[in-house]
Amino acid sequence: MARSPLTLAASVTAALPGIGVTAVGPLTENGPGRFDAAFARLEDGRAIVVRMPVDDAAARDLATESRALHALTPGVRALLPFAAPEVLGETGSGTQRVLVVDHLVGYRIDPANLPKGPGYAPAIGAALAAVHALPVSVVRTDGLPVRSPEQVRDDVTRLLDRVDATDRVPDGLMLRWRRAVEVDELWRFESAVVLGGASSSSFLLVDDDEGIPHVTGLLEWAGLSVGDPAVDLRWLASAPTATDDVHDGYARGGERSPDPLLRERARLYAELEFARWLVHGWDAGESDVVDDAVALLTALADGVRGDHIVPDSRADIDDAMALVERVPPTAAAPIDTSMQTDAYDPEALSLYLAAERDRLAAEDAAPADPARENAFDLTGLREPEDPGATVPVDLDGWTPQRTGSLDAAPDEAPISAGDVPHDVTAQDEEDAVRASRAALRRWAVAGDDDAREARDA
C-alpha cells in the first residue's frame, strides 16, 4: 500500500532532526512508481523531496542513488551546466530507507512526447554530452562500477546466452544480435561516465524569457558508472522523430572523439531491454511476464526482418578491404612511374606505323588532298628555314617514306598489325631508331647554333 504524503512528511523529521515541516503534498513528477514520494516545505523556506522505496529492488536502487549523489562533489557539480539533487538527509535501510533531497524546478517530458526540431531534443542531447564529459575519476574514486568496452561486450554476450537458453526468442532475432556482438568495430568506443539508463524524463527543463527551453536539472543518478555512452541513448527507440535532433545536440555539446557506431549500439541496447524482460520473467517464474516478453520479441523480429544492427554495406567494405590486404603484391598491376619523354618504344612505334599504313592505304583510295602534299618524311627530318627555331611536329601530317616492304603496292590490300612479318617488324624498329637519331641531330644542331650566336654576341 502506498504511503501517504503525511506519512512521508513525518519521516523527514527523522532524517533532518530539529527541522520542522510547514507544508506537504503529493509529488507529481511523472516518476516510474518504484518509490513513494512527496513534496514538502521546511520551516526555513527550503523545498524538499522525500522518497521511500516500495520493494527491495527499489531499496537497493535508492541506496545506490544516494551513493552516486554523494560522489557529486561541489567541484564535479561545477562542471555540469545544470543542477543535480543534493542529499540533505537520510535514515533507515531496506524498504524503510528515507532519502531527502532538495527540490529542483522544471518539467519532465516522456520520450514518446518529445518533439522533433530545435529546442527540447537538442537541449537534452547536450545535457547528456555534459555528463559523458565528466572525468572518470568521479566514479573510480567512490568505487562505483567501471566497465571497459571488452567488459561491456562480454556482458552482452552473457545476456544473449541466458536469453538463448530460454528457447523463446525467434531465431532471426538471436542471429541478428549474435552477429552484432561479433562485429569488432561496433565495440571500439571510449568508455565514459554514464547514467546507466537515462531518458528524456530524467531531465528537468524550463523555458527562458524568449521561449527557448534549456535543462535545469537531472534526476535518476542511480546508474552512475563508467561504461558505454550508448546506453544513455537507448531510450531514443521510443522517440524516433526526435532521434536526429538529440544526436545533433549531443554532437555539438560534447568534446569527446566521434563515435561512428553510437547509434547502432544504442539501438542494440534498446532491443535487448525486451530480452532482459524475458530473463526477468523466466528467472522469477512469472509466466505472464514471459508471455508478454515473447510477444514483444516476436513483434520486434517481424519489424527488423532482413535488417542488421550494423549495415551490410559496412561489413561488405570491411570484407573488401580484407581481400585487398590478402592480394600478393605481384598480382597488382604495375604502376608506370617513368617520365613521359620523347624516347620511343620500338615495339609500340611499329604497331603505330602498321596502323598508319592502314590509314594511308585508305587515303590512296580517296581523292588526293592538297593539304598533304608537304607531308613530313620520317627518313629525313627537314630543317626549318630558321635553323635556330624549334617548331612543333604535326603528327597528323606524317607520311612514312614508301620504301621496301613497309608499304603495299597500290593494288594490294594494306598490311594490318597482326599480319606484319618478323622482318617487317625489325625494319620498323630500324626506322624508329633512325628517326630518333635524326631528331637528336636536329636538336644538337639547334643547340650549336644557339651557342655560336651567344659567342658572336
Query: In the chain, what percentage of residues exceed pLDDT 90?
Result: 55
The pLDDT-based confidence of 310 (bands split at 50, 70, 90) is confident
Task: Reply yes or no on whether the pLDDT at 312 is more than 80.
Answer: no
Which domains, and CATH codes, for the chain?
1-104 (3.30.200.20), 106-335 (3.90.1200.10), 347-456 (no CATH)
The pLDDT-based confidence of 311 (bands split at 50, 70, 90) is confident
Output 404 or 1, whichever has higher pLDDT: 1
The pLDDT-based confidence of 254 (bands split at 50, 70, 90) is confident
The 3-class SS string of the chain reads CCCCHHHHHHHHHHHCCCCCEEEEEECCCCCCCCEEEEEEEECCCCEEEEEEECCHHHHHHHHHHHHHHHHCCHHHHCCCCCECCCEEEEECCHHHCEEEEECCCCECCCHHHCCCCCCHHHHHHHHHHHHHCCCCHHHHHCCCCECCHHHHHHHHHHHHHHHHHHCCCCHHHHHHHHHHHHCHHHHCCCCEEECCCCCHHHEEEEECCCCCEEEEEECCCCCCEEECHHHHHHHHHHCHHHHHHHHHHHHHHCCCCCCCCHHHHHHHHHHHHHHHHHHHHHHHCCHHHHHHHHHHHHHHHHHCCCCCCCCHHHHHHHHHHHHHHHCCHHHCCCCCCCCCCCCCCHHHHHHHHHHHHHHHHHHHCCCCCHHHCCCECCCCCCCCCCCCCCCCCCHHHECCCCCHHHCCCCCCCCCCHHHCCHHHHHHHHHHHHHHHHHHHHHHHHHHHHHHHHHHHC
Query: In the chain, what percentage of residues exceed pLDDT 70?
Result: 67
pLDDT in tens, 43-81: 999 999 999 999 998 999 999 999 999 999 999 999 999
pLDDT in tens, 337-373: 333 334 434 454 455 455 556 656 665 665 555 444 4
The pLDDT-based confidence of 1 (bands split at 50, 70, 90) is low
Task: Reply yes or no on whether the pLDDT at 323 is more than 50.
Answer: no
Tell me what the mean pLDDT of segment 234-262 comes to.
92
pLDDT at 367: 57
Of 309-323, 391-405, 425-439, the one with minimum mean pLDDT is 391-405
Tell me what the mean pLDDT of segment 24-34 comes to.
71
